[in-house]
A and B are shown apart, each in its own frame.
Chain A
Amino acid sequence: MTENPDDTPQEPGHSLWPIGFAIGVAVVLVGLVISWPAVVLGAALTIVFGVLWIRDASRSHAPVDSAPAHELMGDTPSPGLAAAEEEHLETYGRAGFLTLATIGLGGVIGAAVVLPSLGFAVLPSFTGEAVATNDVDLGPVSNFPEGEFVITTFIGNKVQGEVSKRTAYIRNNGLSANKEPSFTIIYSRCVHLGCPVQPNGPKFEDKKVTYKDVTLTPVQPAGFGCPCHGGAYDTEGNRTAGPPVRSLDRYAFSIVNGNLVLGKHFSVGTVVGTGADAKISRYRQTYPGVHVDGIERWLYPIPVPGS
Protein backbone atom coordinates (compact mmCIF):
# COMPACT_ATOMS: atom_id res chain seq x y z
CA MET A 1 0.00 0.00 0.00
CA THR A 2 1.51 3.26 -1.06
CA GLU A 3 1.73 5.91 1.56
CA ASN A 4 -0.82 8.63 0.92
CA PRO A 5 0.55 11.93 2.22
CA ASP A 6 -2.96 13.12 2.97
CA ASP A 7 -3.55 10.32 5.48
CA THR A 8 -0.39 10.45 7.52
CA PRO A 9 0.40 13.45 9.73
CA GLN A 10 2.82 15.68 8.00
CA GLU A 11 5.71 17.04 10.03
CA PRO A 12 7.24 20.34 9.04
CA GLY A 13 10.81 20.31 7.87
CA HIS A 14 13.65 21.54 10.09
CA SER A 15 14.28 25.27 10.03
CA LEU A 16 15.57 28.13 12.15
CA TRP A 17 12.57 30.39 11.80
CA PRO A 18 10.90 29.17 15.03
CA ILE A 19 13.88 30.46 16.97
CA GLY A 20 13.43 33.91 15.54
CA PHE A 21 9.73 33.72 16.29
CA ALA A 22 10.41 32.74 19.89
CA ILE A 23 12.89 35.57 20.27
CA GLY A 24 10.27 37.96 18.94
CA VAL A 25 7.70 36.75 21.46
CA ALA A 26 10.21 37.02 24.27
CA VAL A 27 11.12 40.59 23.30
CA VAL A 28 7.43 41.51 23.27
CA LEU A 29 6.93 40.16 26.77
CA VAL A 30 10.03 41.84 28.15
CA GLY A 31 9.09 45.05 26.40
CA LEU A 32 5.66 45.03 28.02
CA VAL A 33 7.49 45.40 31.31
CA ILE A 34 10.36 47.68 30.38
CA SER A 35 9.57 49.88 27.39
CA TRP A 36 7.10 50.25 24.55
CA PRO A 37 9.66 50.49 21.69
CA ALA A 38 10.78 46.99 22.63
CA VAL A 39 7.19 45.79 22.20
CA VAL A 40 7.10 47.22 18.66
CA LEU A 41 10.44 45.67 17.81
CA GLY A 42 9.36 42.34 19.27
CA ALA A 43 6.06 42.40 17.39
CA ALA A 44 7.91 43.08 14.14
CA LEU A 45 10.32 40.20 14.78
CA THR A 46 7.43 37.90 15.68
CA ILE A 47 5.51 38.72 12.53
CA VAL A 48 8.50 38.49 10.20
CA PHE A 49 9.77 35.21 11.54
CA GLY A 50 6.26 33.87 11.90
CA VAL A 51 5.55 34.50 8.25
CA LEU A 52 8.83 32.93 7.20
CA TRP A 53 8.14 29.91 9.41
CA ILE A 54 4.63 29.41 8.05
CA ARG A 55 5.89 29.77 4.51
CA ASP A 56 8.55 27.17 5.15
CA ALA A 57 6.18 24.76 6.87
CA SER A 58 3.53 25.06 4.19
CA ARG A 59 6.10 24.33 1.46
CA SER A 60 6.93 20.98 2.99
CA HIS A 61 3.19 20.12 3.10
CA ALA A 62 2.99 19.99 -0.67
CA PRO A 63 2.21 16.43 -1.80
CA VAL A 64 5.51 15.94 -3.60
CA ASP A 65 5.07 12.22 -4.15
CA SER A 66 1.53 12.19 -5.49
CA ALA A 67 0.59 13.29 -8.94
CA PRO A 68 0.31 17.03 -9.54
CA ALA A 69 -3.12 18.42 -8.75
CA HIS A 70 -4.23 19.12 -12.31
CA GLU A 71 -3.54 15.49 -13.31
CA LEU A 72 -5.76 14.22 -10.47
CA MET A 73 -8.47 16.52 -11.67
CA GLY A 74 -8.29 15.05 -15.12
CA ASP A 75 -7.06 18.12 -16.98
CA THR A 76 -4.56 17.68 -19.70
CA PRO A 77 -1.37 19.48 -18.81
CA SER A 78 -0.16 22.25 -21.04
CA PRO A 79 3.31 21.82 -22.51
CA GLY A 80 4.70 24.74 -20.54
CA LEU A 81 3.39 23.37 -17.32
CA ALA A 82 4.79 19.96 -18.04
CA ALA A 83 8.18 21.54 -18.48
CA ALA A 84 7.79 23.39 -15.24
CA GLU A 85 6.91 20.16 -13.45
CA GLU A 86 10.34 18.90 -14.34
CA GLU A 87 11.58 21.66 -12.06
CA HIS A 88 9.41 20.29 -9.24
CA LEU A 89 6.78 23.02 -8.81
CA GLU A 90 5.76 23.34 -5.21
CA THR A 91 2.12 24.11 -4.63
CA TYR A 92 -0.21 24.45 -1.68
CA GLY A 93 -2.46 21.48 -1.44
CA ARG A 94 -5.93 21.85 0.03
CA ALA A 95 -4.89 19.92 3.14
CA GLY A 96 -1.98 22.23 3.66
CA PHE A 97 -4.12 25.33 3.39
CA LEU A 98 -6.73 24.06 5.81
CA THR A 99 -4.06 23.06 8.33
CA LEU A 100 -2.48 26.47 8.21
CA ALA A 101 -5.81 28.24 8.45
CA THR A 102 -6.83 26.22 11.49
CA ILE A 103 -3.57 26.75 13.29
CA GLY A 104 -3.46 30.39 12.34
CA LEU A 105 -7.01 31.21 13.37
CA GLY A 106 -6.67 29.12 16.50
CA GLY A 107 -3.57 31.05 17.37
CA VAL A 108 -5.30 34.36 16.82
CA ILE A 109 -8.28 33.38 18.96
CA GLY A 110 -6.04 32.01 21.66
CA ALA A 111 -3.96 35.14 21.74
CA ALA A 112 -7.03 37.37 21.72
CA VAL A 113 -8.38 35.62 24.80
CA VAL A 114 -5.23 34.83 26.75
CA LEU A 115 -3.12 37.94 26.29
CA PRO A 116 -5.60 40.49 27.66
CA SER A 117 -6.39 38.22 30.62
CA LEU A 118 -2.73 37.67 31.39
CA GLY A 119 -2.09 41.34 30.97
CA PHE A 120 -4.90 42.13 33.37
CA ALA A 121 -3.50 39.69 35.90
CA VAL A 122 0.09 40.84 35.69
CA LEU A 123 0.35 44.45 34.48
CA PRO A 124 -1.60 46.40 37.12
CA SER A 125 1.01 45.40 39.72
CA PHE A 126 3.56 47.32 37.65
CA THR A 127 1.67 50.38 36.43
CA GLY A 128 1.43 51.97 39.80
CA GLU A 129 -2.34 51.66 40.11
CA ALA A 130 -2.06 49.86 43.41
CA VAL A 131 0.92 51.74 44.74
CA ALA A 132 0.05 53.87 47.73
CA THR A 133 0.58 57.55 47.13
CA ASN A 134 1.86 59.79 49.82
CA ASP A 135 1.48 63.41 50.96
CA VAL A 136 0.45 62.36 54.43
CA ASP A 137 -0.16 65.21 56.86
CA LEU A 138 1.57 64.35 60.14
CA GLY A 139 0.61 67.41 62.11
CA PRO A 140 2.35 70.55 63.31
CA VAL A 141 6.12 70.59 63.51
CA SER A 142 5.78 71.51 67.17
CA ASN A 143 4.69 67.93 67.86
CA PHE A 144 8.22 66.82 66.96
CA PRO A 145 10.63 68.03 69.71
CA GLU A 146 14.05 68.82 68.42
CA GLY A 147 16.69 66.13 68.78
CA GLU A 148 14.22 63.46 69.92
CA PHE A 149 12.80 60.50 68.07
CA VAL A 150 9.03 60.05 67.74
CA ILE A 151 7.34 56.79 66.72
CA THR A 152 4.80 58.01 64.15
CA THR A 153 2.02 55.72 62.97
CA PHE A 154 -0.13 57.03 60.10
CA ILE A 155 -2.45 55.96 57.29
CA GLY A 156 -0.50 56.16 54.02
CA ASN A 157 -3.47 56.37 51.68
CA LYS A 158 -6.94 57.44 52.87
CA VAL A 159 -8.70 55.56 50.08
CA GLN A 160 -7.01 52.25 50.91
CA GLY A 161 -7.57 52.69 54.63
CA GLU A 162 -6.12 50.44 57.34
CA VAL A 163 -4.16 48.29 54.91
CA SER A 164 -1.89 51.28 54.18
CA LYS A 165 -1.07 51.95 57.85
CA ARG A 166 2.66 52.48 58.28
CA THR A 167 5.13 53.58 60.95
CA ALA A 168 8.16 55.85 60.72
CA TYR A 169 10.76 56.92 63.30
CA ILE A 170 10.99 60.70 62.97
CA ARG A 171 13.57 63.02 64.50
CA ASN A 172 13.43 66.78 64.15
CA ASN A 173 17.00 67.88 63.45
CA GLY A 174 16.29 71.59 63.74
CA LEU A 175 17.74 73.72 60.95
CA SER A 176 20.42 72.61 58.53
CA ALA A 177 23.43 74.70 57.52
CA ASN A 178 21.25 76.24 54.77
CA LYS A 179 18.69 77.33 57.38
CA GLU A 180 16.17 74.74 56.15
CA PRO A 181 14.20 72.47 58.46
CA SER A 182 15.74 69.00 58.61
CA PHE A 183 14.00 65.78 59.61
CA THR A 184 15.33 62.26 59.79
CA ILE A 185 12.37 60.08 58.79
CA ILE A 186 13.21 56.38 58.94
CA TYR A 187 10.83 53.65 57.73
CA SER A 188 10.14 51.05 60.38
CA ARG A 189 10.55 47.87 58.32
CA CYS A 190 13.87 46.05 58.27
CA VAL A 191 15.73 45.96 54.94
CA HIS A 192 16.76 42.35 55.43
CA LEU A 193 13.33 40.77 54.96
CA GLY A 194 10.74 43.31 56.13
CA CYS A 195 10.19 42.49 59.82
CA PRO A 196 9.07 45.44 62.00
CA VAL A 197 12.16 47.06 63.52
CA GLN A 198 12.12 48.02 67.19
CA PRO A 199 13.59 51.16 68.71
CA ASN A 200 16.37 50.16 71.13
CA GLY A 201 15.46 52.30 74.08
CA PRO A 202 12.69 53.36 76.48
CA LYS A 203 9.33 54.50 75.09
CA PHE A 204 7.39 57.27 76.81
CA GLU A 205 3.81 56.07 76.39
CA ASP A 206 2.50 58.69 78.81
CA LYS A 207 3.66 61.45 76.47
CA LYS A 208 1.78 60.00 73.49
CA VAL A 209 0.07 62.60 71.24
CA THR A 210 -2.63 62.07 68.61
CA TYR A 211 -3.24 64.26 65.55
CA LYS A 212 -6.32 63.13 63.57
CA ASP A 213 -5.46 59.47 62.82
CA VAL A 214 -1.71 59.88 63.42
CA THR A 215 -0.24 58.70 66.73
CA LEU A 216 3.09 60.08 67.96
CA THR A 217 4.98 58.35 70.80
CA PRO A 218 8.30 59.79 71.98
CA VAL A 219 11.16 57.30 72.34
CA GLN A 220 14.86 57.48 73.16
CA PRO A 221 16.59 54.87 71.02
CA ALA A 222 20.30 54.14 71.02
CA GLY A 223 19.71 52.61 67.64
CA PHE A 224 17.24 50.24 66.01
CA GLY A 225 17.14 46.46 66.20
CA CYS A 226 15.29 43.76 64.37
CA PRO A 227 14.31 40.74 66.49
CA CYS A 228 13.91 38.38 63.52
CA HIS A 229 17.52 37.68 62.62
CA GLY A 230 19.44 40.13 64.76
CA GLY A 231 19.84 43.03 62.35
CA ALA A 232 20.98 46.25 64.09
CA TYR A 233 21.09 49.86 62.88
CA ASP A 234 22.35 53.15 64.34
CA THR A 235 20.21 56.27 64.75
CA GLU A 236 20.81 57.28 61.13
CA GLY A 237 19.60 53.90 59.88
CA ASN A 238 23.03 52.61 58.87
CA ARG A 239 23.53 48.91 59.44
CA THR A 240 25.76 48.10 62.40
CA ALA A 241 25.28 44.35 62.71
CA GLY A 242 23.44 41.40 61.24
CA PRO A 243 22.17 40.45 57.78
CA PRO A 244 20.58 43.71 56.49
CA VAL A 245 21.94 44.53 53.07
CA ARG A 246 21.76 48.36 53.16
CA SER A 247 20.56 51.21 55.38
CA LEU A 248 16.95 51.61 56.47
CA ASP A 249 14.56 53.20 53.97
CA ARG A 250 13.44 56.80 54.45
CA TYR A 251 10.68 59.17 53.43
CA ALA A 252 11.06 62.53 51.75
CA PHE A 253 9.16 65.33 53.43
CA SER A 254 7.91 68.89 53.02
CA ILE A 255 6.62 71.54 55.39
CA VAL A 256 3.19 72.83 54.39
CA ASN A 257 1.58 75.54 56.55
CA GLY A 258 3.78 74.57 59.48
CA ASN A 259 2.78 70.89 59.20
CA LEU A 260 5.14 68.05 58.44
CA VAL A 261 3.96 66.31 55.26
CA LEU A 262 5.38 62.96 54.21
CA GLY A 263 6.55 62.54 50.61
CA LYS A 264 7.99 59.75 48.53
CA HIS A 265 9.36 56.56 50.05
CA PHE A 266 12.93 55.87 48.93
CA SER A 267 15.75 53.44 49.67
CA VAL A 268 19.14 54.36 51.04
CA GLY A 269 22.63 53.03 50.32
CA THR A 270 24.55 54.62 53.19
CA VAL A 271 24.27 57.73 55.31
CA VAL A 272 27.42 59.73 56.04
CA GLY A 273 27.26 62.17 58.93
CA THR A 274 24.38 62.64 61.34
CA GLY A 275 21.25 64.76 61.77
CA ALA A 276 20.96 67.90 59.69
CA ASP A 277 24.38 67.41 58.06
CA ALA A 278 23.77 63.83 56.94
CA LYS A 279 24.56 62.94 53.34
CA ILE A 280 22.09 60.29 52.19
CA SER A 281 22.74 58.19 49.09
CA ARG A 282 19.25 57.88 47.71
CA TYR A 283 17.85 55.18 45.39
CA ARG A 284 14.35 54.42 44.15
CA GLN A 285 12.23 52.31 46.50
CA THR A 286 13.63 48.78 46.53
CA TYR A 287 12.58 45.53 48.11
CA PRO A 288 14.17 44.34 51.34
CA GLY A 289 17.04 41.97 50.77
CA VAL A 290 17.88 43.61 47.44
CA HIS A 291 21.20 45.46 47.28
CA VAL A 292 21.10 49.00 45.89
CA ASP A 293 24.81 49.44 45.37
CA GLY A 294 27.98 47.44 45.21
CA ILE A 295 28.72 44.41 43.12
CA GLU A 296 25.63 42.55 44.30
CA ARG A 297 23.51 45.14 42.45
CA TRP A 298 24.37 43.25 39.25
CA LEU A 299 22.06 40.47 40.44
CA TYR A 300 19.13 42.84 39.90
CA PRO A 301 19.75 44.48 36.52
CA ILE A 302 16.14 45.33 35.61
CA PRO A 303 14.48 48.00 37.76
CA VAL A 304 10.90 47.20 38.70
CA PRO A 305 8.39 49.73 37.33
CA GLY A 306 5.72 51.05 39.63
CA SER A 307 7.88 51.32 42.72
Chain B
Amino acid sequence: MASKLQQERRAEFKRYKEDVAKEGKPFFPYAILHDTIMSLVVVAVIIGLAVIWKYTNQGTDVGVLGPLSTAKADPGTTNFVPRPDWFFYFLFYLLRIFKWPETVVLGTVGVPTLLLVLLIGLPFFDRRPERAILRRPVAFVAAILVVISMGVLTWKGATAKEALGSETVSLVPKWANEQGFADNKVAVAGATLFAESGCLNCHTYLGTGSSNLGAPNLSDEGAKGRGIAWQVAHLKNPSSKTPGSPMPSFAALGDENLTKIATFLEASKGPQK
Protein backbone atom coordinates (compact mmCIF):
# COMPACT_ATOMS: atom_id res chain seq x y z
CA MET B 1 0.00 0.00 0.00
CA ALA B 2 1.81 3.10 -1.26
CA SER B 3 2.11 6.14 0.96
CA LYS B 4 0.39 9.37 0.05
CA LEU B 5 3.70 10.84 -1.10
CA GLN B 6 4.33 7.88 -3.37
CA GLN B 7 0.84 8.18 -4.81
CA GLU B 8 1.47 11.87 -5.48
CA ARG B 9 4.71 11.04 -7.25
CA ARG B 10 3.08 8.40 -9.40
CA ALA B 11 0.25 10.75 -10.28
CA GLU B 12 2.75 13.43 -11.27
CA PHE B 13 4.63 10.98 -13.49
CA LYS B 14 1.34 9.91 -15.08
CA ARG B 15 0.51 13.57 -15.80
CA TYR B 16 4.02 13.98 -17.20
CA LYS B 17 3.53 11.16 -19.64
CA GLU B 18 0.15 12.52 -20.73
CA ASP B 19 1.55 16.04 -21.16
CA VAL B 20 4.41 14.75 -23.27
CA ALA B 21 2.07 12.70 -25.42
CA LYS B 22 -0.32 15.64 -25.94
CA GLU B 23 1.90 18.74 -25.91
CA GLY B 24 5.31 17.29 -26.66
CA LYS B 25 7.29 17.57 -29.86
CA PRO B 26 9.05 14.76 -31.71
CA PHE B 27 12.64 14.19 -30.68
CA PHE B 28 13.64 14.30 -34.35
CA PRO B 29 14.12 17.01 -35.46
CA TYR B 30 13.36 19.40 -32.60
CA ALA B 31 15.52 18.17 -29.73
CA ILE B 32 18.12 16.28 -31.72
CA LEU B 33 18.95 19.46 -33.63
CA HIS B 34 20.06 21.17 -30.42
CA ASP B 35 22.00 18.07 -29.40
CA THR B 36 23.75 17.99 -32.76
CA ILE B 37 24.69 21.67 -32.61
CA MET B 38 26.11 21.24 -29.11
CA SER B 39 28.02 18.14 -30.18
CA LEU B 40 29.49 20.08 -33.07
CA VAL B 41 30.64 22.75 -30.62
CA VAL B 42 32.26 20.07 -28.46
CA VAL B 43 34.12 18.49 -31.39
CA ALA B 44 35.22 21.92 -32.62
CA VAL B 45 36.58 22.81 -29.18
CA ILE B 46 38.48 19.50 -28.95
CA ILE B 47 40.02 19.95 -32.38
CA GLY B 48 40.77 23.59 -31.67
CA LEU B 49 42.58 22.73 -28.44
CA ALA B 50 44.59 20.01 -30.20
CA VAL B 51 45.63 22.43 -32.94
CA ILE B 52 46.57 25.18 -30.46
CA TRP B 53 48.53 22.66 -28.39
CA LYS B 54 50.56 21.59 -31.38
CA TYR B 55 51.17 25.00 -32.89
CA THR B 56 52.15 26.79 -29.68
CA ASN B 57 54.83 24.17 -29.12
CA GLN B 58 57.01 24.79 -32.14
CA GLY B 59 60.69 25.01 -31.37
CA THR B 60 61.71 25.09 -27.73
CA ASP B 61 59.15 27.50 -26.30
CA VAL B 62 56.51 25.87 -24.14
CA GLY B 63 53.05 26.84 -25.32
CA VAL B 64 50.13 28.21 -23.34
CA LEU B 65 48.59 24.73 -23.11
CA GLY B 66 51.71 23.09 -21.73
CA PRO B 67 54.46 21.06 -23.40
CA LEU B 68 53.82 18.17 -25.77
CA SER B 69 55.54 15.91 -23.27
CA THR B 70 58.05 16.00 -20.45
CA ALA B 71 61.23 13.91 -20.24
CA LYS B 72 61.00 10.11 -20.31
CA ALA B 73 60.06 8.50 -17.01
CA ASP B 74 63.04 8.17 -14.65
CA PRO B 75 62.12 6.04 -11.62
CA GLY B 76 65.35 6.99 -9.84
CA THR B 77 65.05 10.75 -10.14
CA THR B 78 65.42 13.05 -7.14
CA ASN B 79 64.52 16.08 -9.17
CA PHE B 80 60.81 16.09 -9.95
CA VAL B 81 57.58 17.20 -8.31
CA PRO B 82 54.62 14.93 -9.16
CA ARG B 83 51.34 16.49 -10.21
CA PRO B 84 48.09 14.71 -11.18
CA ASP B 85 45.80 15.57 -14.07
CA TRP B 86 43.93 18.84 -13.52
CA PHE B 87 40.61 17.22 -12.65
CA PHE B 88 42.26 15.63 -9.61
CA TYR B 89 43.59 18.97 -8.32
CA PHE B 90 40.84 19.27 -5.72
CA LEU B 91 41.87 15.92 -4.21
CA PHE B 92 45.53 16.91 -4.58
CA TYR B 93 44.95 20.04 -2.55
CA LEU B 94 43.09 18.08 0.13
CA LEU B 95 46.38 16.28 0.74
CA ARG B 96 47.99 19.61 1.57
CA ILE B 97 45.18 20.51 3.94
CA PHE B 98 45.50 17.25 5.89
CA LYS B 99 49.17 17.75 6.63
CA TRP B 100 49.48 15.92 9.98
CA PRO B 101 50.55 12.25 9.85
CA GLU B 102 47.54 11.04 11.85
CA THR B 103 45.12 12.67 9.41
CA VAL B 104 46.63 11.48 6.12
CA VAL B 105 44.06 8.72 5.62
CA LEU B 106 41.25 11.27 6.06
CA GLY B 107 42.51 13.33 3.18
CA THR B 108 43.32 10.44 0.88
CA VAL B 109 40.33 8.19 1.53
CA GLY B 110 37.99 9.56 4.20
CA VAL B 111 36.77 12.81 2.64
CA PRO B 112 36.45 11.50 -0.96
CA THR B 113 34.54 8.43 0.23
CA LEU B 114 32.18 10.57 2.30
CA LEU B 115 31.53 12.87 -0.66
CA LEU B 116 30.84 9.90 -2.91
CA VAL B 117 28.40 8.38 -0.43
CA LEU B 118 26.54 11.69 -0.20
CA LEU B 119 26.48 11.97 -3.98
CA ILE B 120 25.20 8.45 -4.62
CA GLY B 121 22.66 8.66 -1.81
CA LEU B 122 21.27 12.02 -2.94
CA PRO B 123 17.95 10.66 -4.28
CA PHE B 124 17.41 8.97 -0.93
CA PHE B 125 18.22 11.99 1.23
CA ASP B 126 16.11 14.33 -0.86
CA ARG B 127 12.70 12.75 -1.19
CA ARG B 128 10.59 15.88 -1.66
CA PRO B 129 8.92 16.05 -5.05
CA GLU B 130 9.70 19.76 -5.39
CA ARG B 131 11.78 20.55 -8.50
CA ALA B 132 12.11 24.32 -8.65
CA ILE B 133 15.56 25.23 -7.32
CA LEU B 134 14.46 28.30 -5.36
CA ARG B 135 11.98 26.18 -3.44
CA ARG B 136 14.71 23.71 -2.48
CA PRO B 137 16.77 25.89 -0.14
CA VAL B 138 18.91 23.09 1.31
CA ALA B 139 19.77 21.73 -2.14
CA PHE B 140 20.45 25.23 -3.44
CA VAL B 141 22.81 26.17 -0.63
CA ALA B 142 24.53 22.79 -0.72
CA ALA B 143 25.07 23.05 -4.46
CA ILE B 144 26.54 26.55 -4.20
CA LEU B 145 28.86 25.46 -1.38
CA VAL B 146 30.02 22.38 -3.29
CA VAL B 147 30.70 24.33 -6.47
CA ILE B 148 32.59 27.05 -4.62
CA SER B 149 34.64 24.65 -2.52
CA MET B 150 35.56 22.41 -5.44
CA GLY B 151 36.41 25.45 -7.51
CA VAL B 152 38.59 26.90 -4.78
CA LEU B 153 40.30 23.56 -4.10
CA THR B 154 40.97 23.03 -7.81
CA TRP B 155 42.34 26.53 -8.24
CA LYS B 156 44.53 26.26 -5.16
CA GLY B 157 45.74 22.89 -6.38
CA ALA B 158 46.61 24.41 -9.73
CA THR B 159 48.52 27.31 -8.21
CA ALA B 160 50.15 25.36 -5.36
CA LYS B 161 53.83 26.08 -5.31
CA GLU B 162 56.46 23.47 -4.72
CA ALA B 163 60.16 24.21 -4.48
CA LEU B 164 62.29 22.04 -6.76
CA GLY B 165 65.93 22.56 -5.83
CA SER B 166 67.18 22.54 -9.40
CA GLU B 167 64.61 25.15 -10.41
CA THR B 168 65.00 27.51 -7.50
CA VAL B 169 68.79 27.62 -7.92
CA SER B 170 68.27 29.29 -11.28
CA LEU B 171 66.37 32.09 -9.53
CA VAL B 172 69.39 33.24 -7.52
CA PRO B 173 70.52 35.95 -9.98
CA LYS B 174 66.99 37.35 -9.97
CA TRP B 175 66.95 37.43 -6.18
CA ALA B 176 70.39 39.08 -6.12
CA ASN B 177 69.09 41.74 -8.44
CA GLU B 178 65.86 42.41 -6.58
CA GLN B 179 67.40 42.41 -3.12
CA GLY B 180 70.51 44.28 -4.22
CA PHE B 181 73.22 41.86 -3.00
CA ALA B 182 74.56 40.88 -6.44
CA ASP B 183 78.03 42.24 -5.62
CA ASN B 184 78.24 40.38 -2.33
CA LYS B 185 79.79 37.02 -3.33
CA VAL B 186 79.22 35.43 0.07
CA ALA B 187 75.54 36.36 -0.02
CA VAL B 188 75.18 34.96 -3.56
CA ALA B 189 76.81 31.70 -2.47
CA GLY B 190 74.49 31.69 0.50
CA ALA B 191 71.50 32.21 -1.77
CA THR B 192 72.52 29.18 -3.83
CA LEU B 193 72.82 27.07 -0.68
CA PHE B 194 69.45 28.39 0.49
CA ALA B 195 67.88 27.24 -2.80
CA GLU B 196 69.57 23.82 -2.67
CA SER B 197 68.94 22.97 0.96
CA GLY B 198 65.18 22.61 0.83
CA CYS B 199 64.46 25.81 2.74
CA LEU B 200 61.76 26.69 0.24
CA ASN B 201 59.88 23.47 1.07
CA CYS B 202 58.61 25.28 4.15
CA HIS B 203 59.47 28.99 3.66
CA THR B 204 58.50 31.43 0.95
CA TYR B 205 60.93 33.94 -0.54
CA LEU B 206 60.13 36.58 -3.14
CA GLY B 207 57.15 34.67 -4.49
CA THR B 208 58.58 31.13 -4.58
CA GLY B 209 58.46 28.35 -2.06
CA SER B 210 55.64 26.86 -0.02
CA SER B 211 53.83 28.31 2.97
CA ASN B 212 51.84 25.16 3.60
CA LEU B 213 53.48 24.35 6.93
CA GLY B 214 53.18 27.85 8.38
CA ALA B 215 56.84 28.87 8.19
CA PRO B 216 57.45 32.65 7.82
CA ASN B 217 58.26 34.50 4.63
CA LEU B 218 61.97 35.35 4.52
CA SER B 219 61.97 38.05 1.82
CA ASP B 220 62.77 40.81 4.35
CA GLU B 221 64.48 38.71 6.99
CA GLY B 222 67.49 41.05 6.93
CA ALA B 223 65.36 44.03 7.89
CA LYS B 224 64.62 42.47 11.29
CA GLY B 225 68.11 43.33 12.55
CA ARG B 226 68.93 39.91 13.99
CA GLY B 227 72.52 39.77 12.85
CA ILE B 228 74.62 36.99 11.30
CA ALA B 229 75.50 35.35 14.61
CA TRP B 230 71.84 35.00 15.53
CA GLN B 231 71.05 33.47 12.13
CA VAL B 232 73.87 30.90 12.39
CA ALA B 233 72.84 29.92 15.92
CA HIS B 234 69.22 29.66 14.77
CA LEU B 235 70.14 27.42 11.84
CA LYS B 236 72.08 25.14 14.14
CA ASN B 237 69.28 24.90 16.73
CA PRO B 238 66.08 26.66 15.70
CA SER B 239 64.02 26.01 18.81
CA SER B 240 66.67 27.65 20.99
CA LYS B 241 66.12 30.97 19.22
CA THR B 242 62.39 30.67 18.37
CA PRO B 243 60.83 28.48 21.07
CA GLY B 244 58.32 25.94 19.82
CA SER B 245 59.65 26.03 16.27
CA PRO B 246 59.22 22.72 14.38
CA MET B 247 62.15 23.63 12.11
CA PRO B 248 64.86 20.89 12.05
CA SER B 249 68.54 21.60 12.61
CA PHE B 250 70.81 22.41 9.67
CA ALA B 251 74.05 22.03 11.58
CA ALA B 252 75.23 19.26 9.23
CA LEU B 253 75.90 21.87 6.54
CA GLY B 254 78.96 23.02 8.42
CA ASP B 255 79.92 26.43 9.84
CA GLU B 256 81.22 27.85 6.55
CA ASN B 257 78.02 27.09 4.67
CA LEU B 258 75.87 28.32 7.56
CA THR B 259 77.71 31.63 7.60
CA LYS B 260 77.08 32.06 3.87
CA ILE B 261 73.36 31.41 4.34
CA ALA B 262 73.27 33.80 7.30
CA THR B 263 74.94 36.50 5.20
CA PHE B 264 72.36 35.98 2.47
CA LEU B 265 69.50 36.22 4.94
CA GLU B 266 70.86 39.39 6.46
CA ALA B 267 71.27 40.89 2.98
CA SER B 268 67.61 40.23 2.21
CA LYS B 269 66.01 43.44 3.31
CA GLY B 270 62.98 43.30 1.07
CA PRO B 271 62.72 44.09 -2.66
CA GLN B 272 64.69 47.19 -3.59
CA LYS B 273 62.79 47.86 -6.77
Contact = CB atoms under 8 A, between A and B. Distances in A.
Any A–B CB pair closer than 8 Å:
yes
B193 A151 contact: no
A230 B162 CA distance: 8
A10 interface: no
Contacts of B162: 227-228
A227 B81 contact: yes
Contacts of B247: 241
A286 interface: no
Interface stretch (A98-106, A116-124, A196-204): A196-204
Given A227-B163, A232-B198, A241-B202, A200 B250 contact: yes
Interface in B72-104: 74-82, 95-96, 98-104
Interface in B247-261: 247-254, 257
Contacts of B79: 196, 198
A239 B78 CA distance: 18
A241 B105 contact: no
Interface residues of B, number: 45
A226 interface: yes
A237 interface: no
B248 A196 contact: no
Nearest to A225: B198
Contacts of A232: 198, 201-202, 248
B78 A151 contact: yes
B212 interface: yes
A197 B82 CA distance: 11
Interface string A239-252: 11111110000000
B198 A223 contact: yes
A201 B103 CA distance: 29
A196 B197 CA distance: 15
Interface stretch (A53-61, A164-172, A264-272): A164-172
B220 interface: no
B101 A230 contact: no
B233 to A, nearest CB: 15
A6 to B, nearest CB: 32
Give the dominant DSSP class at B's interface: loop
B254 A289 contact: no
Given A220-B254, A242-B99, A196 B198 contact: no
Contacts of A241: 202, 213, 246-248
A198 B198 contact: yes
B165 to A, nearest CB: 5
B176 to A, nearest CB: 18
Size category of the A interface is 35 or more
A223 B251 CA distance: 10
A198 B77 CA distance: 9
A182 to B, nearest CB: 18
Contact of B96 (A202, A229, A244, A245): A229
A188 B198 contact: no
B75 A230 contact: no
Contacts of B80: 196
A226 B201 contact: yes
A188 B250 contact: no
A202 B256 CA distance: 13
B164 interface: yes
A167 to B, nearest CB: 4
A239 B101 contact: yes
B219 interface: no
Interface in A118-166: 151, 153-154, 162-166
A230 B210 contact: yes
Interface in B96-118: 96, 98-105, 108
Given A223-B198, A229-B96, A196 B78 contact: yes
B77 A196 contact: yes
A276 interface: no
B221 interface: no
A245 to B, nearest CB: 5
B178 interface: no
A245 B165 CA distance: 24
A299 interface: yes
Nearest to A226: B201
Residue in A166, A195, A243 with the greatest tally of chain B CB atoms within 10 Å: A243
Nearest to B213: A230
Given A230-B212, A243-B101, A166 B76 contact: yes
Contacts of A44: none
B196 A202 contact: yes
A201 B102 CA distance: 29
A31 to B, nearest CB: 26
Contact of A225 (B96, B99, B201): B201
8 contacts: A193-B108, A201-B198, A202-B192, A202-B257, A223-B249, A227-B163, A228-B81, A296-B105
Given A202-B196, A223-B250, 12 more contacts: A200-B201, A202-B197, A220-B252, A221-B197, A221-B252, A226-B201, A235-B252, A239-B101, A241-B202, A241-B213, A243-B98, A289-B105
Interface of A: 151, 153-154, 162-167, 188, 192-193, 195-203, 220-230, 232, 234-235, 239-245, 289, 296, 299
